[in-house]
Amino acid sequence: MKKLEILHQIVESGLVVVVRAETEELATRIAGACVDGGIRVLEITFTVPGAARAIESLASCRNFCLGAGTVLDPETARVAILAGAKFIVSPSFNPATARLCHRYQVPYLPGAGSVTEIVTAMEGGGDIVKVFPGETLGPAFVKATLAALPHAPLMPTGGVSIENVGDWIKAGCVAVGVGGCLTAPAKTGDFAAISDLSRRFLDQIREARSR
């Protein structure tokens, strides 16, 4: 899948599900439940034990786009790409990781928490900038930032819920990253609830975009 196609898929979906789990097996079960609910873009974080193995086991599935998250350095990015990750997400901008991703034409989504960091990430090759941590910044930050930087492709992660996802989209975000608010039912083994929440998030995004 080419880089432009991956970026288009992320933006078209509007939702990247961030999968964090205590085990590789649980991460793959969460991913499956999300896909059953219509999710087409997923991110397995490198806080998951055996994250590379989880990515490798899921990468062969062609009905969704799989990326790697919490990637702090180019070494981890390379491992993720070899395992089959189609995009790389970081909590902060790392120039060496950006260079590696661009060398192999893999989308790079670095995190940023201020206007200065957003500009630095874009100048350094960030394809979409992850607004992080979203819970402390809020949709108002995105709206104010886009007034000055209307060309900035922003995607918040952290603090995005079913109640406020529409606010983030209406503020101008090209997509949102959602983790625990969507995947929490896995703690009680209720994977059907994850599928249901996935559908509800996608519905809220479509509704916000239609206004």
| Catalytic positions, written as ranges | 43, 130
- Three-class DSSP category at 69: strand
Report the length, in residues, of the chain.
Answer: 211
Q: What residues contact residue 79 under an 8 Å CB cut-off, 6+ apart?
A: 52
3-state secondary structure of 40: coil
> Please, are residues 28 and 92 in contact by the beta-carbon 8 Å criterion?
no
Q: Which residues make beta-bridge pairs with 67? A: 43
Distance CA 3, CA 17 (A): 19
Is residue 24 within 8 Å of residue 211, measured between CB atoms? no
Tokens of 171: 């503020």
